[in-house]
Amino acid sequence: MLKHLSKEEGDAPLGSQSPPAKRPCPDLQVPWNPEVDLCWHTLVRGASDECEPEWCESEDPLFILYTSGSTGKPKGVLHTLSGYMLYTALTFKLVFDYQPDDVYWCTADIGWITGHSYITYGPLANGATSVLFEGLPTYPDVSRMWEIVDKYHVTKFYTAPTAIRLLMKYGREPVQKYKRDSLKVLGTVGEPINPEAWQWYYSVVGEKRCPIVDTFWQTETGGHVLTPLPAATPMKPGSATFPFFGVVPAVLNESGEELEGASEGYLVFKQPWPGVMRTVYGNQQRFETTYFKKFPGYYVTGDGCRRDKDGYYWITGRIDDMLNVSGHLLSTAEVESALAEHEAVAEAAVVGRPHPVKGESLYCFVTLTDGVTYSRTLEAELKKQGKIMRRVLRKIACDERDLGDISTLADSSVVEHLFQNRCCVGV
C-alpha cells in the first residue's frame, strides 16, 4: 500500500532524473500502518536494476483470472506462458497494426483480461509505447479521453462500447474541442457495439479516417478470436467480422449440427489456438463440462451469433444465464443468491433488460418473505446486497472492529472467526 502523499510530493516531473514520482492521492486518507505497509520508493531504492529471468516450461501456468460462471462460483481461468504470450503479442501487432512509432492506449482496467492481454502482455512483448490511465472518461470533464489523446499523440485507441455510449450522450462538442489528428486505429471490446455507437465512434471520434476493430474475445480465449484487421477487412458496423488466423468458428443449431452459409445459432470454435485457456484452476472437470460437454468436439463460447450471407459474424449476446452490464459479465445465479441471502427475500429471479448506455442492466424480480412489506428503504438495501460482505471483509482486513450493521449476514459468528485468524501478507 502506498503512503498518502501531498500533491507536491507526487508531482515530480515525468522523465526527470529524480526518483520516480510518488503516486498522489490527495483525497485519499489511507492510514499508514507500519506493521504491514512498506513504501515502494524505499524498497526499490536498494533494488538491483537487473532481474535474472526465471526459466520456465512453455506450458507452466502464467496466471489465473476469475470470471463469472453461469452456475456456482466464479471459474479460475488458467492461462499458460508461451501460448498466451505468443497469441497476445501477435494479435496486438496485427489487430492494431502496431508500428514502432505508435502510441497505444487501452482504457481498460489492468486487472481484467483486456488489461492483462492488451495493456500488459501484448504491448510489452512488442516493446510498444503505451499510455496507462487510471481514472474516469468523464472526470474532470467529458473531454478527458480526447485531451489525453492530444497530449500524448495517441495513435491506437482501444475502449469499450459502454464508454462510447456514455460519451455520445454529451454530443460532439467535447470531442471536437481536441484535434485527435494522431489517431489511426480505434478498437472496441467487451460487448456488442450497436451500429449507432459504432457510427459515432467512426464519424465523430475518428472523423471517418480510422478503421474500427471490433474485437470479439473472452477471458477464456486469451486474445482476439473474431476481429477485423484494420484497413484490410471491409467493415460492417456492429460486426466483429471474421476469425483471426488459426481460429475456426462454426455456428451450431440446438442439436449440434453445423449450419452453413447465412445462419444463426451457437458460436463455437472447432480447433484450439495458442492463447486458449488450459483449464479451470483446480477443476478440470468443470472446464470440460462448461466448454466441451454441450457440443462434444467444439469449444462453446456461450454466445449466440449470426453469420450473414457475406460470412460476417455478428455476436447476438449471451445464450447462457449471463448478463453483460457495461462489459462486465455477471451471472444471474450469483445475483439471485446475493438477493436471497437477505432475510426479507424469499425468492429472486434476475434477468437482463436493454440499457441505452450499459448495454444491459439488471432487472430483479423479488418475492418478499411473508409479513414483510415493500418499502424504498428495503429496495435500497437490496441494491446494496452482495456488496455487504465485501464491506465487512474490508474492515476485517484493516482490523477495524466497528462493522456497522451485520444483521443480514447468514452466520455472523464467521466474522469473529475471521478476526481471530487474521493475518497479513506483506509485499
| Interface positions with ligand PRX (CB under 6 A) | 67, 113-114, 189-192, 214-219, 240, 301-303, 315, 318, 324, 329
- C-beta of 329 vs 344, nearer to ligand PRX: 329
Name the grid cell of 224: 482476439
- C-beta of 279 vs 301, nearer to ligand PRX: 301
Q: Which amino acid is at 184?
A: K
Q: Which of these, 224, 280, 278, lies nearest to 80 by C-alpha position?
A: 278
250 close to 298: Cβ distance less than 8 angstroms: yes
CB-closest chain residue to ligand PRX: 219
- C-beta of 76 vs 192, nearer to ligand PRX: 192
Q: Which of these, 212, 186, 187, 218, lies nearest to 112 by C-alpha position?
A: 218
- Please give the Cα distance from 409 to 142 (Å, whole number): 40
3-state helix, strand, coil in the chain (%, to 5): 25, 20, 50
- C-beta of 143 vs 279, nearer to ligand PRX: 279
213 close to 227: Cβ distance less than 8 angstroms: yes
Nearest approach, Cβ of 251 to ligand PRX (angstroms)?
Answer: 15
- C-beta of 5 vs 65, nearer to ligand PRX: 65
- C-beta of 98 vs 216, nearer to ligand PRX: 216
Alpha helices of 276-342 — where are they, by DSSP H? 284-292, 332-340
Q: Which of these, 312, 303, 296, lies nearest to 263 by C-alpha position?
A: 312
**Residues shown for the chain:** 427
Nearest approach, Cβ of 125 to ligand PRX (angstroms)?
Answer: 18
Nearest approach, Cβ of 173 to ligand PRX (angstroms)?
Answer: 28
- C-beta of 80 vs 324, nearer to ligand PRX: 324
Query: What phi, psi does 202 have (nearest 5°)?
Result: -70, -50
Nearest approach, Cβ of 81 to ligand PRX (angstroms)?
Answer: 20
Q: Which of these, 57, 165, 189, lies nearest to 116 by C-alpha position?
A: 189
Q: Which of these, 111, 114, 107, lies nearest to 131 by C-alpha position?
A: 107
Nearest approach, Cβ of 119 to ligand PRX (angstroms)?
Answer: 12
Query: Reduced to 3 states, what is the DSSP secondary structure of residue 347?
Result: strand
Q: Which amino acid is at 238?
A: G
Q: Which of these, 36, 3, 2, lies nearest to 399 by C-alpha position?
A: 36
- C-beta of 67 vs 162, nearer to ligand PRX: 67
Query: What phi, psi does 366 have (nearest 5°)?
Result: -130, 130
Nearest approach, Cβ of 122 to ligand PRX (angstroms)?
Answer: 12
305 close to 315: Cβ distance less than 8 angstroms: yes
Nearest approach, Cβ of 179 to ligand PRX (angstroms)?
Answer: 28
- C-beta of 94 vs 406, nearer to ligand PRX: 94
Nearest approach, Cβ of 270 to ligand PRX (angstroms)?
Answer: 17
Nearest approach, Cβ of 224 to ligand PRX (angstroms)?
Answer: 8
- C-beta of 162 vs 219, nearer to ligand PRX: 219
- C-beta of 86 vs 344, nearer to ligand PRX: 86
Residue 80 host element (H or E):
strand 75-80
Nearest approach, Cβ of 112 to ligand PRX (angstroms)?
Answer: 7
The helices-and-strands tally (H runs, E runs) of the chain is 13, 16
CA quadruple 220, 226, 232, 235: dihedral sign: negative
- Please give the Cα distance from 260 to 374 (Å, whole number): 52
Nearest approach, Cβ of 201 to ligand PRX (angstroms)?
Answer: 13
- Please give the Cα distance from 82 to 98 (Å, whole number): 20
Residues linked to residue 152 through DSSP beta bridges, in sequence order = none
